[in-house]
Amino acid sequence: MEENYLFGLLVFVFFGIVAFIKPEKAKREVKRKQEASSYNKSSDVSVSGVAKYLQEKNAAILQSSVTGVAKYLQEKEVLNIVKDEELSITGVAKYLATQEQAPASGVSRYMAKQAVYAKQIAAENVSGVEKYLKNRN
* pLDDT per position as a tens digit, 103-113: 678 888 899 89
Q: Are residues 32 and 46 in the same domain?
A: yes
Q: Is the pLDDT of residue 39 over 60?
A: no
Helix/strand number for the chain, H first, E second = 6, 0
Q: Mean per-residue pLDDT for 87-100?
A: 78
Percent of the chain whose pLDDT exceeds 70: 80
Q: What is the distance between the alpha carbons of residues 63 and 56, in angstroms, rounded to a whole number?
A: 11
**2 and 52: one domain?**
yes
Residue 38 has pLDDT above 70, yes or no: no
Say if residue 36 is in the same domain as residue 81. no
pLDDT score of 117: 92
Is residue 12 domain-shared with residue 30, that is, in the same domain? yes
Task: Compute φ and ψ for 125, nearest 5 degrees.
Answer: -95, 50
Q: Could you give the CA distance from residue 113 to residue 104 in angstroms, rounded to a whole number? A: 12
- Domain match, 2 and 12 both: yes
Same domain for 75 and 127, yes or no, is no
What residue numbers bound the domain in which 120 lies? 104-137
55 shares a domain with 5: yes
What is each CA distance from 87 to 66, 81, 92, in whole angstroms? 30, 10, 13
User: How does residue 45 score in pLDDT terms, banded at 50, 70 and 90?
Assistant: low
| Number of domains comprising the chain | 3
Q: How far is CA 63 from CA 12, 77, 121, in A?
A: 49, 22, 72
Among 74, 55, 72, which Cα is nearest to 63's? 55
